[in-house]
Amino acid sequence: MAIFVTEEQVAQWLDMPTALAAVEDIMRLKGQGRAVNHPRQRVRRAGVILHWMGATVPEWGLTGFKVYTPRSALFFLYGAEGELLMVAQAAQLGQIRTGAASGVATKFMARPDARTVGIIGTGFQAEAQLKAICQVRLIERIFAYSRTEKRREEFARKMSEQLSVPVIAASSAEEAVRHADIVVTVTTSKEPVLKGEWLRFGMHINAVGSNALVRRELDAEAIRRCHRIVVDDRQQARMECGDLLGAVERGDLAWDNLPELGEVVCGRVAGRESDDEITLFESQGIALWDLAVGRVIFQQAVAHQCGQPLPF
């Protein structure tokens, strides 16, 4: 019989180190051609967008999909025979797995001696981004910027306490980025929030918010200055990555030539070849990450004999 798992149980069983390991493992499988990702699809009507995304790992005997709107998110996990195993509330699942993916990208693409982070955006996804990065690098200082002064100051206080790392509320996006080794953009902006003129050699960038062609967080100069650009899934990037669309249309990039994070993780492609390179990970958010952490949640639910039985 299938079980139902709540947001509270997800938070209890899915910590960041566990999520990092799960996402790294599934990206390695993807890089080896042993996992299948189905890009996000969107169904629209006035005022509502329904998002759907699915994935499978044949050797695990597991398939899963996530469906969500701005008000609700659910993850469905199926077994080897197509039987429903679990339905889980998926808001925190999505937040944690997105942060973990940036952590994996940082692990493989940022300089080993990276110590400072600049983050633009302090919303729902921002906390998990910093938690993941602090797991894979010895971060000593963080600069955080959002357009609302009160919000960025509250975020800085909260994250300083959670991470035991000084988090400084920056007065501008430029101030947040200028002295950072690792930069995170995690906004829903339609206009660039990160300018190429602010970048320094040796930086690593996790661009998290441009998961629609109308969204754009990096300007053309920032894309041009990146020596190495990695995506989570080429097919999904082609459908969604507003940051890269202009460069592709100008002929500066080709979708089919962009390496995927899985190829970096499994060693087929180098994440960084020198300390001077500016590296960029474009994170659209893929269903394989949901499957990776969903599997962990299901295993924990079984081990703890928890989860509400469902009548189907």
CB atoms within 10 A of CB 42: 12
The rounded distance, in Å, linking the Cα atoms of 44 and 3 is 30
The proportion of the chain whose per-residue pLDDT surpasses 90, expressed as a percent, equals 97
In eight-state DSSP terms, residue 89 is E
The rounded distance, in Å, linking the Cα atoms of 278 and 110 is 9
The pLDDT tens digits for 19-39 are 999 999 999 999 999 999 999
Sorting pLDDT into bands at 50, 70 and 90, what band is 139? very high
262 Cβ partners below 8 Å, 6+ apart? 27, 28, 29, 30, 31, 32, 35
Position 47 scores a pLDDT of 84
Mean pLDDT in residue range 142-151: 97
The rounded distance, in Å, linking the Cα atoms of 117 and 97 is 19
Sorting pLDDT into bands at 50, 70 and 90, what band is 271? very high
Mean pLDDT in residue range 88-103: 98
Position 1 scores a pLDDT of 86
Mean confidence (pLDDT) of the chain? 97
Give yes or no for a contact between 101 and 23, defined as CB atoms under 8 angstroms apart: yes
Q: Which two tokens stand for residue 265?
A: 């993780």
Mean pLDDT in residue range 88-99: 98
Mean pLDDT in residue range 89-106: 98
The rounded distance, in Å, linking the Cα atoms of 98 and 147 is 22
CB atoms within 10 A of CB 8: 10
Position 114 scores a pLDDT of 98
Q: Inform me whether the pLDDT recorded for 312 exceeds 90.
A: no
The pLDDT tens digits for 54-79 are 999 999 999 999 999 999 999 999 99
Sorting pLDDT into bands at 50, 70 and 90, what band is 270? very high
The rounded distance, in Å, linking the Cα atoms of 4 and 312 is 11
Position 31 scores a pLDDT of 98
